[in-house]
Amino acid sequence: MSIINVMWSGDSPYASVHKVHRQVLSQAPSGAPVKTWLLQHEAPACLSELGGVKAWNLSSRFLKGRGIWVFSRPLRNRFFRNALLENDAQVVLLDGLGVARVLLPALHGLPQVRAVVIFHGSTRLQCKDLCLFRKLSPEQLTLCAVSQTLADSIAADVKLPVLTLSSMLDPQKSQQQLLSREQARQQLDLPVQSQQVFGAVGRLVDSKGFDTLLKAFAQNLKTHPDGLLMIIGEGPRRSSLESQINALGLQGKVLLPGHVNNVASLYRAFDWVLIPSQAEGLGLVVQEAVIAGVPVLASDLPVFYEQLGDGGSYVPVNDVSAWAKAIDACSSLAAADVAARQYAGLDPEHAWLRFKQACSGVF
């Protein structure tokens, strides 16, 4: 079996998607050759662990076929069909709807190639997407979603079966790479002493809810002036968040270090991890923090409850007052007890086994 893992880009904004695909491909049949195609941009080092990586560096206009470029679609389809044949592809793992729109038309006339589309978050499906899915037989196309919540949502839209691939990190490997609290804080240039540090990880985009978090944290500082917040990630909302930090007088109290390559090893730098997301397909940050033994305060989204159940600590989405009160309460809670309860709720060992079993439906 030859597997082609097709992703849009290797840029840092796609880091969480890379993690999920690496976890899925770790369950591929032993000895199966894996090649990763990046439609745009270069590959991060982590993807080379899977096998060969090729960055096509194709233009968005060519890939999306919009405007006058609609006439290039037959050429695009022939281009990828020939590439699949040359690489003797048998299974093609596709990163979400955008990549599916590009690659699925190339599969017509290639019944020996099976496509697996993995949805990582909610998406706007169009009528043409449903037609695209239905042109391929159930034997040739498998739709997957990284959580039950997301799978139910997409299945309701497409009226087709969607495999729940509840993505889970390997807890043993995750724990092996963790740095101690002191090491992690030193690497992040944080105070090593007992100052309470809150952490948040994610792209600097609207859906992560960091603007709400800043307002809530500003309120918390009135009663806990020694607190510190670090938001790790990069994205188009950086300048807006920086302006908000200045307007709220949070200079030196909120740090934006940008993208950090080894962030999964650094969670123990934080006393609590805050996840104020407005929407999530899965939310790997929950898993990374809980496996590291760090308690999580998260938005009350179904996908978070799906992972932590009654052991989670939840706050209403975009409710600044509620977030401020919840952050304030962290100071009086026994963080170790909360972390232990959340670890039991996530149950990483059994969740990892269930994920491995679900992957059998992919390969």
Q: Tens-of-pLDDT digits for all 363 residues of the chain?
A: 899 999 998 777 778 888 899 899 999 998 899 999 999 876 665 666 778 888 898 888 888 887 777 778 899 999 999 999 999 999 999 999 999 999 999 998 899 999 999 999 988 899 999 999 999 999 999 999 999 999 999 999 999 999 999 989 999 999 999 999 999 999 999 988 778 999 999 999 999 999 999 999 999 999 999 999 999 999 999 999 999 999 999 999 999 999 998 899 999 999 999 999 999 998 899 999 999 999 999 999 999 999 999 999 999 999 999 999 999 999 999 999 999 999 999 999 999 999 999 998 888
Count, residues in the chain: 363
153/178 same-domain check: no
184/316 same-domain check: yes
Q: How many helices (H) and strands (E) does the chain have?
A: 16, 13
10/145 same-domain check: yes
342/250 same-domain check: yes
292 lies in a domain? yes
**Residue 41 host element (H or E):** none
- Tell whether pTM > 0.95: no
Strand partners, 92: 4, 115
Give the count of domains, the chain: 2
The span from the CA of 325 to the CA of 310, in Å, is: 20
153/274 same-domain check: no
108 lies in a domain? yes
Last residue of a domain, one of 136, 167, 198: 167
Q: Residue 66 carries which side chain, given as an amino acid letter?
A: R
Contact 200, 206 (CB under 8 A): no
The range of the structural domain enclosing residue 241 comes to: 171-347
95/26 same-domain check: yes
The span from the CA of 238 to the CA of 227, in Å, is: 21
In terms of C-beta density within 10 A (0-12 exposed, 13-18 middle, 19 or more buried), how is residue 112 classed? Answer: exposed
Rama region for 303: left / alpha / beta (φ>0; ψ in -120 to 50; rest): alpha
208 lies in a domain? yes
9/109 same-domain check: yes
132/255 same-domain check: no
318/236 same-domain check: yes
Last residue of a domain, one of 123, 146, 167: 167
Question: What's the helix, strand, coil split of the chain in %, to 5?
Answer: 45, 15, 35
Last residue of a domain, one of 132, 149, 167: 167
